[in-house]
Amino acid sequence: MKKKFNKKELTGFREKLVNLKEQIMGQIKEISENTLMKSQKDISGDMSGYSLHMADVATDNYERDFNLGLVSDERSMLLEIEEALKMIDDKTYGFCKACEKPIAKTRLNAIPYVKKCKKCQEKQEKETGA
């Protein structure tokens, strides 16, 4: 398979991916500390000994579930970033997983962990409705 990028370009993509990885890990840590590690009373701000109102509990549970969803999405993105870093090491970075053609540099600059070219991604989304 042909090389798509030179060493300098690959180093730039690696730096971009590593920075993105660190940023996401920081966000996961912040969400975990602010949401997942606090008790129900801490989240609601109710430090009294009185029981919580059902609506407050429902709101708190919704916020907690929402934040858990964010953490799950960010962990999925971390896995994609790790895979992209491995593809740089394997010299397969920048090629579409579906058609094996080069992915546009502008697309990789926008989404450095993308695995498919725009055409194949659109085809997949059309087929799956995602």
Rounded CA separation 121/114 (Å): 9
Percent of the chain at pLDDT exceeding 70: 79
Task: Say whether pTM exceeds 0.85.
Answer: no
The predicted structure's pLDDT at residue 60: 72
Rounded CA separation 34/37 (Å): 7
Digit-coded pLDDT (tens) for 29-79: 887 777 656 644 454 555 554 455 667 667 777 777 777 777 778 889 999
Give pairs for 86-95: CB < 8 Å, separation 24+: 88/10, 88/13, 88/14, 88/17, 91/1, 91/3, 92/1, 93/4, 93/5, 93/10, 93/13, 94/4, 94/5, 94/13, 95/1, 95/4
- What number of helices (H) and strands (E) belong to the chain? 5, 0
